[in-house]
Every structure is written in C-alpha cells, then in structure tokens.
Structure 1
Amino acid sequence: MAAYSPRVLLGNWEEVLRQEEIQLSVSKDGFIHFGDTVMLLNPDKKSSVENHPGAHGSLSLAIYLDITSVYSVESLQGPCGVSAVEALDPVGRNTFCILSVDGSAVGEPIRFGQNFGLGTTGGVSDQMFYLASDHKSFTRFAKISCLQEVFLTDELSFLTCWQANFLDPQLRLEYEGLPVPANSKIVITHCHTNRSLAIPRNFWTRSYFGKEHEVICHTYLDSHKAEEDKNYWVIVTGNPSDEGGTMINTANPHPGGTGKNEFSEET
C-alpha cells in the first residue's frame, strides 16, 4: 500500500494549480500601476540566524487553501485565510491585482501614501477576494501568533485599503506622492489600523501543500524606529525579456538603489 502524503490527497488539484500559471504585468516605466498583476514577496533574509526551515528564503503572499478548498474550487468563500509560501513562480494562489479605491484610472502609477487595494486574480476561484485586516479583538486574531489577523474578504471596504511607504522612515515624507517603484523593497501599511503587513517567519500554519508561514499585520521596529525586514515587501512584475518570467532576480533594494541583485546567493 502506498504511503499517505499530501501529494496523494491532492491528486489532480495540485496539477491544476501548477497549470494555472499567471503572467505578471510588465512595467515599462519601472513603477507599479493600478490594474497590474503582481506577486508580493517578503525578500530573502540573508542575515537571519534562525535555524528553522524557510527562515532565510524569499516568501510570496498566497491564498491559504484548506481541505474544503482543495476538493472544490467553487467552495472557496470569504473570509478566507492567507499564508506565505516558498513558491516563487506566479500561479493562481500567489498573484494579486493592484486595485484603485479612490477613482484613479487603470494604468496610472500608484504613489507612496496613496490608498490601494489588493485583489485575487481568479486563478483559484472565479470570485474576487480582497486582502484585508482589522483590529485585534477577542474573536478576531491570528490563530498562531495571536496578533492582528490578515485575511481575504469578498467585500470592499475601509478594511481592504493599504498604502505603500518608502523603506527609510527618515525619507518617507520626502517620497510621499511619488510613484512606487516595481521590484524594490517597500513597507505596506494597513490604512485602518496603521499596522504594517508582516511575516514573522517563526509562526507556522499547515495547509495541504505542507508548512506555510503565518501572515499578520504588526509593525516591527528596530532601535532606530525603522521597520525590520519582517515588514519588507517587494511588488514583483514580469520580465519583459522572458515571457512568463519575473523580475525577482533583478530587484533593487530601494528606489534609486545600486541595482544589486537582492535575491541572488552572491554577496
């Protein structure tokens, strides 16, 4: 008798997800725009000294799929969970669309300090879901860390509004109103609670694809009152020279950066 494994349980579902590869938007001007299809990456933690698996590599934001979702795509209903996965290829569960919430037109660049939404792309369900969060309460909190929960909902509201902030807090006001660059480290903050999207990396959840990281809203500050790498995000776009490829291997550390490959194993 064959040994049980998640791969046996998933059957054709995993094959379907692998086939649902999604092409990311290509940024011709180097910025992120309303309507873009992107991945959200918490970049490689080269300085990490943690010993648990997944502590160092880049992680992508993804829809959390439980057993009900595995057996029937149509059963995926909001609110549903999100997680962070080691998969860096754009597929249905880890790609999102940048949405306008203030009347800005599709194709316009989003700007630092401007509200925007993040919606699923339809690769897993025909229903669009929106990334959301809300203040921690006795009934709503992240299941493992007990911090502020991040989830997906099918209703647009003030709970689904986010802002991009420049990485260096000392330059944040100077950059406010300027276009947000693609493939560069930024901080993404929830407008309603003023807490930043984060992956602590020491809280695990288990899906039917294996262990995945818990995603929360919590601002981690160092001794200089700057966000830690748990709050760093890169909005990844497509590679214009490689159809179906991404710009992961050419990402800059910050706007106006040196162009050093942030995801390379080289130092």
Structure 2
Amino acid sequence: MFNKRTSTSGRDYSPGVLIGNWNEDVSLEEDCLKDFLYRRERGELLIQRSKKLKETLYKKEQLSISKDGFIHFGDTVLLVSPDNNKSPMENLPAVSGNLSLAVNPDEASVHTSAKLPVPCGLSAFRSVTPIGRNAFRILSTEGEAMGEPVRFGQNFGLGTTGGFPERMLFLASDHKTFVNKAKKSSLQSVFMTDELSYLASWQATFLDPQYRMEYEGFPVPSNSKILIIHSHTNQGLAVPRNFWIWTYFGKEYEVNCHTYLDSHKAEEDKNYWVVVTGNPSDELTTMFDRPPPPSEETRVQNSELHTET
C-alpha cells in the first residue's frame, strides 16, 4: 500500500512515491543544477556580478602625478567641488566641505549587473579618496596626443578609469527637456554615456573673468580652482549643495550643468572645481593630503629662530 498523506501542496503522496512525469522532473532538476554550476564557474550568477561591480566601484585608484603642475591628456584625476570656507551655520541650507564627483548607478543595476548601466547617473559625495567611483581620466576629443597639457578653451573628455576595462563611460550633458532634467533642481542634467560625442565635450575656463581672455590657450594648472564648461550648451558643471539625494551609497548631493551667476555676473562657488592629482611623496594619497606650505609669517619666525641659534 502507498503511504498516503494529507498535504496542502497538491501532492498526496510522500516524496519517495513516483507519480506523474517523475522522470522529467528529475531531468529538469539535474539540468538546473548543471546550469547553476556552469554559471558559477563563469562568474555569471547575479550575486557574483553584483559583488564584482561593487568591488570595482570601491577599488582604490592611483592618481596621476603632475611633474610640471599642469593637467594632461591621459591623466587620472579627481574632480572636487572645493569647500567654500563658510561656517556650517552661515552655509545653511547648503552643505560644507569638499565634494568629489562620482558615478552613481541605480540600486537595481548594482544588484543585478557587473557593468555600469547606460546612461548612468552622477552625484557628489564627501570624500577625496580616489576609488573606482570618483576617479576620471582626461581624454582627447580632437586628436591630441596623450601627455600633452590641457589648455584653457580646449575641448576634452572625462571618462571612467581602468576599473571598467570592458566599457568606458564618458561624462556628458544635453539641453534640458521636460523628460531630461535634474531630478531635484529641474536644471540641465549630467550623465554618463558610452559614446564620446559632442555631448561629452568639455572646456576648462579661468576662474577670474577679468583675466579670462589673457589665459586662453595657456596650460590648465592642477589642484587650482577652475570652471568646467560644457562645450555644446555653454553651461558650467556645478554642485548646488542644497539638493541631496538618497543613493545605494547613502546620502549624496545632486550634480547638474548650470552656470550660477552672482550680482556681478561672475560665477558662484557652486561652479568651482579643482582637478586633483596624486601626491608625489605618497602614491596612495592626493595633493589634498599634503600639508599646506608655511605662511610668510611662519617662515619669518623660523628664519629669526634659526639666526638666533
């Protein structure tokens, strides 16, 4: 006699009883197991792809070291929105501190893919440590040789670093539309795309408007405040600092492409950027980590002390 049992699963007999298309069920389970083992060996499981992308995003990157004080095509750098040096209460509702530009894939992509999605979002977060998320490579868009200095008014591209060897994405923007706009500020958005076109072309502009024409064509200094202007729309890359967004990585800040002007028609600090290079005395840190040079008063005091001794 069969060992009959009552069950809500739809099966009235114990697992040892062969009923229905039992042979097909066994074959299907074996095929599923073989497929699982095959995909695991090739690293194609969702959990493996998710882990690979997260490891790439958090992987430490080494920045290029500028020997002449300028930035060059092919350099790996950070794009940092510098602190405006205001007190927290004076700066409200905006956030203080240095913010670095970083790729910001949506949470679904982080969990299901080993590659950055296209298009991919951007944000700014409180860190100047070079990792896969916030390290960018300066690219030639008009045939300039790698190693040549980037000049004011010259077009260049910004791409993700070697952490994504299978597909490099490029920083881009386009005119604001009803659908394509920044979520919080509703201004012109920025995004990462896989096509190095005119939408991914940028220019460095000298900070002081009074000397802007004189510096046209001069090499762009590294670790100094500049403006980064989108060549197609003539709008400046900016971090408003008063629009924050929740991301897979936590609370971060919106990045858009808009030129903020003060009452004197000069760009505000929301448009200021510093192209940060590596620290020559320590390859794992940046120029932001180097101690500031002594002030003139300190040098005079040290000189007097040395003379007395």
| Normalised TM-score (structure 1) | 0.85
Which structure has the bigger radius of gyration? 2
Q: Structure 1 residues 185, 59: closer, same or farther in 2, change over 3 A?
A: same
> Which residue of structure 1 aligns with residue 107 of structure 2?
67
Question: Offset of 1:67 from its aligned partner?
Answer: 1.4
Q: Take 2:290 and 2:257, find their aligned partners in 1: how far apart are those partners?
A: 27
Question: Offset of 1:73 from its aligned partner?
Answer: 4.3
Aligned equivalent of 1:218, options 258, 263, 276: 258
Question: Offset of 1:236 from its aligned partner?
Answer: 0.3
Aligned equivalent of 1:34, options 73, 77, 87: 73
Please state if 1:143 is matched with 2:179: no
Runs of 4+ in 1 over 3 A off after TM superposition: 11-15, 249-252
Question: Offset of 1:126 from its aligned partner?
Answer: 3.1
Taking only the aligned residue pairs, the percentage that are identical comes to 60
Where does the alignment leave 5 or more consecutive residues of structure 1 unmatched?
Answer: 1-10, 253-257, 261-267
Q: Structure 1 residues 121, 72: closer, same or farther in 2, change over 3 A?
A: farther
Question: Offset of 1:51 from its aligned partner?
Answer: 3.4
Aligned equivalent of 1:131, options 164, 171, 190: 171
Residues 141-180 of structure 1: matches in 2 within 5 Å? 141-180=181-220
Where does the alignment leave 5 or more consecutive residues of structure 2 unmatched?
Answer: 1-49, 296-309
> Which residue of structure 2 aligns with residue 8 of structure 1?
none
> Which residue of structure 2 aligns with residue 90 of structure 1?
130
Residues 1-267 of structure 1: matches in 2 within 5 Å? 16-17=55-56, 20-47=59-86, 49-52=90-93, 55-123=95-163, 126-250=166-290
Q: Structure 1 residues 206, 126: closer, same or farther in 2, change over 3 A?
A: farther
Q: Secondary structure at the match of 2:133?
A: helix
Q: Which amino acid aligns with 2:83?
A: D
Q: Take 1:63 and 1:151, find their aligned partners in 2: how far apart are those partners?
A: 8
Q: Which has the higher contact order (CA 8 A, sep 6+)?
A: 1
Question: Offset of 1:42 from its aligned partner?
Answer: 0.1
Q: Take 2:294 and 2:170, find their aligned partners in 1: how far apart are those partners?
A: 32
Q: Take 2:121 and 2:198, find their aligned partners in 1: how far apart are those partners?
A: 18
Aligned-pair Cα RMSD in Å = 2.2
Report how many residues are paired.
Answer: 244
Q: Take 2:290 and 2:258, find their aligned partners in 1: how far apart are those partners?
A: 28
Q: Take 1:18 and 1:147, find their aligned partners in 2: how far apart are those partners?
A: 27
| Normalised TM-score (structure 2) | 0.74
Matched-pair contact (CA < 8 Å) for 2:78–2:100: yes
Matched-pair contact (CA < 8 Å) for 1:250–1:259: no
Matched-pair contact (CA < 8 Å) for 2:53–2:114: no
Q: Structure 1 residues 205, 175: closer, same or farther in 2, change over 3 A?
A: same
> Which residue of structure 1 aligns with residue 307 of structure 2?
none
Q: Note the alpha carbon deviations across 1:125-144, whole angstroms, 9 max, x for none.
A: 73100000000011210111
Question: Offset of 1:206 from its aligned partner?
Answer: 1.1
